Amino acid sequence: MKVGFIGLGIMGRPMARHLIEGGHEVHLMSRSGVPQELVDRGGIPHPTPREVAAAAEAVITMLPDTPDVEKVLFGPAGVAEGLSPGKLVIDMSSISPLATRDFARRIEERGCQYLDAPVSGGQVGAEAGTLTIMVGGSEQAFARARPLFALMGRNITLIGPNGDGQTAKVANQIIVALTIEAVAEGLLFAARAGADPAKVREALMGGFAGSRILEVHGQRMIARNFEPGFRIELHQKDLRLALEGAREMGLSLPNTATCQELFNACRAHGGAGWDHSAVLRALELLANVELERR
């Protein structure tokens, strides 16, 4: 298939690489420029989203936020200008479910299909091709896209119609944020009580508290490695979507709100670009204790 891929950051670059390695003709565009690594592997660079869409049968976007997706799809020289009937647009960004439904309608009015397919698994999952992919859209469009998804992920689920993929991703980000915060509190408690948090983590990995987050982010906390796999500012965007949606539905999400405030504290200390596991640092300030680097 001729595939377009727009947005080649921490996540998008390895995802596009998997498509190239899978034998597809991949047309590329990124506002920061197309990485030479992808060109050397056979990727074809383009200067605008419109040119990518004109060259491809399916166009994938992987962008930071809702306004970025709208601009790439419908702005000047955007994807919509390069579409012809029958093409497929797949947004793998994490954005507003409500806006997603509007974007789908506008793309479908051009005789094309639209899928929202946000992912979970972070940079590690993107590099390994093991992402979880949550999809909203028609069964027919999903069937067309599934071979592409299979190159980038393992757990691939059609949730329901357009917007449902983004709804699932918001739910995912609520659970991830709260679990990271819980791991940070548990390890901080252990450290303050005088136990070795690294040994506590090792013990907990074999029990009911064991989780992927305890494994990966617990180790990040103990090593004090807060180089971003997923930046706090991006997780804040996802929690903002959760809290805005909850307000519209009259739903209380008290612990989600608390996590957002802890992320705010990190940002106040210059941490917008830290990995989201650095929520530990906000808790350390409150407790006046730090985990020792191990």
Residues with a known catalytic role: 169
DSSP symbols for 69-82 = HHHHHHSTT-HHHH
φ, ψ at 91 (rounded to 5°): -100, 115
Q: Which residue has the tokens 């797949």?
A: 90
Q: Which residues contact 145 (CB under 8 A, 6 or more apart)?
A: 58, 88, 90, 115, 117, 135
Question: What span, in angstroms and rounded, lies between the C-alpha atoms of 223 and 192?
Answer: 17
Q: Which residue has the tokens 């090792």?
A: 202
Residue 64 half-sphere exposure toward CB, CA atoms < 13 A: 14
Token couple for 180: 């990271």
Question: What span, in angstroms and rounded, lies between the C-alpha atoms of 275 and 198?
Answer: 19
Q: Which residue has the tokens 């210059």?
A: 270
Q: What angle (nearest 5°) sits at the alpha carbon of residue 217, between those of residues 270 and 63?
A: 60
Helices marked H in the chain: 12-21, 36-40, 49-55, 66-74, 79-82, 97-108, 122-128, 139-152, 164-192, 197-204, 212-223, 232-249, 254-268, 279-287
In DSSP terms, 21 is beta-bridged to none
Calculate the alpha carbon distances from 2 to 22, 51, 154, 257, 264 in Å.
12, 13, 22, 43, 42
